[in-house]
Amino acid sequence: MNIFEQTLSDSGQVLKRLSPEILQINIGKLCNLTCLHCHVNAGPKRKEIITKETIDKILDWLEKTDIKTVDLTGGTPEMVPDFQYMIERIRGFKKWRDIITRLNATIINEPGYEWIPEFHKKHKIIIIASMPCYSPDNVNEQRGEGVFDSSIKAFQRLNSLGYAQEPDLKMHFVYNPNGAFLPPSQAALTIDYKKAMKDHFGILFNDLYCITNMPISRFASYLKRNGELEKYYDLLVQSFNPNTVSSLMCTNTINVSWLGEVFDCDFNQMLKLGLEDLDSSYENKSLYLWNIDLQKWTDIAIRTAKHCFGCTAGSGSSCGGEVV
């Protein structure tokens, strides 16, 4: 039993998988930025991106399910050459699926990516975009020089097309702390963000998601270099909130890699922690999405480790922000 499982057990909580509602696909590690907090270690030189063949296998499987939402993450999903093909195939399904892209807004201003705003509008893609602060210094420190101004320009463009103004064009922002501390109250920060973005830049957005930094990959290296890794883990462990457990994203999400391999969440994917209990449920240990039998899905235990405290600290954290 690892320390997270022990803590769950001591608190009387059980982390139980439910029927999947979201298929989250990490379609590649390619990105034009190299943010400090990035749990994917994404960057401009990464070569790992999904192929058309893998897209087809995933979408053939998805089309036969009742999963309602497709959540595309990366890297910067739009940099994957077959991104548009993938969206158009999903929009060709008989059944409607909500499509989310975890957009790095700066890509809109890069040559060759001018198509993004109109394409996203046409296909009613829900945008979830990182905006870790409304002050340029903090954003540039965390994400790179010039990122703040470029993001502002991109959001203004998306607003001008109706994003965050028309009911079917949603644009949400993501805040994550600029260091080794927990996010503040999401409700309070939303009020500050809405006011600052509107007053200073004329920008509107729908919801703000506060996400806790996960002490893995690039952020773990940063903490280690500054001698803060252990202290940050202590903070996460001490802030364990049992009320978050039933709403964690691993309970209703299937996470898939650019190769089609299945994981409990994007963090486990980055740590290469595959599914648990495969022997009892599947003959073949290399589990790809197209081999999943959804009848057996809820029987498989969720694979946890110490980093899971990053999801249960304080008000909790998931791809949709606070959980309680």
> Which of 8, 25, 38, 323: binder of ligand SF4 (CB under 6 A)?
38
Residue 75 is a binding residue for ligand SF4 (CB under 6 A): yes
d(CA 9, CA 23): 28
Residue 264 is a binding residue for ligand SF4 (CB under 6 A): yes
Q: Which stretch binds ligand SF4 (CB under 6 A): 36-44, 181-189, 277-285, 293-301?
A: 36-44
Closest CA to 29 of 42, 39, 20, 18: 42
The pair of three-digit structure tokens given for residue 203, joined into one six-digit string:
């920008």
- Sign of the Cα pseudo-torsion (103, 109, 114, 118, in order): positive
Q: At its nearest, how many Å lie between ligand SF4 and the CB of residue 231?
A: 20
Q: At its nearest, how many Å lie between ligand SF4 and the CB of residue 158?
A: 16
Q: Which stretch binds ligand SF4 (CB under 6 A): 5-13, 49-57, 68-76, 118-126?
A: 68-76
d(CA 297, CA 106): 37
Residues 231-260 that bind ligand SF4 (CB under 6 A): 248-250
Q: Residue 214: how many CB atoms within 10 A of its CB?
A: 23
Q: At its nearest, how many Å lie between ligand SF4 and the CB of residue 252?
A: 10
- Sign of the Cα pseudo-torsion (224, 320, 2, 6, in order): positive
Interstrand relation of 253-256 and 262-263 (parallel, antiparallel or unpaired): antiparallel
CB 58 within 8 A of CB 89: no
Q: Report in angstroms the alpha-carbon separations of 238 from 117, 144, 203, 273.
A: 42, 32, 37, 24
The greatest distance separating any two alpha carbons of the chain, rounded to the nearest whole angstrom, comes to 58
> Which of 22, 23, 35, 180: binder of ligand SF4 (CB under 6 A)?
35
Q: Which stretch binds ligand SF4 (CB under 6 A): 161-169, 200-208, 235-243, 301-309?
A: 301-309
d(CA 318, CA 264): 13
Q: Which is nearer to ligand SF4, 89 or 211 (CB)?
A: 211
Residue 86 is a binding residue for ligand SF4 (CB under 6 A): no
CA atoms within 13 A on the CB side of 51: 4
> Which of 152, 265, 287, 289: binder of ligand SF4 (CB under 6 A)?
265
Residue 13 is a binding residue for ligand SF4 (CB under 6 A): no
Q: At its nearest, how many Å lie between ligand SF4 and the CB of residue 304?
A: 5
Residue 90 is a binding residue for ligand SF4 (CB under 6 A): no
Phi, psi (5° rounding) for residue 129? -120, 140
d(CA 115, CA 78): 10
Residues 111-130 that bind ligand SF4 (CB under 6 A): 130
> Which of 268, 289, 292, 323: binder of ligand SF4 (CB under 6 A)?
268
Q: Which is nearer to ligand SF4, 260 or 316 (CB)?
A: 316
| # binding residues, ligand SF4 (CB under 6 A) | 25
Residue 33 is a binding residue for ligand SF4 (CB under 6 A): yes
Residue 223 is a binding residue for ligand SF4 (CB under 6 A): no
Return the bridge partners of 240, or none. Answer: 313
Whole-angstrom Cα Rg for the chain = 19
Residues that bind ligand SF4 (CB under 6 A): 31, 33-35, 38, 40, 42, 74-76, 104, 130, 143, 248-250, 264-265, 267-268, 302, 304, 307-308, 311
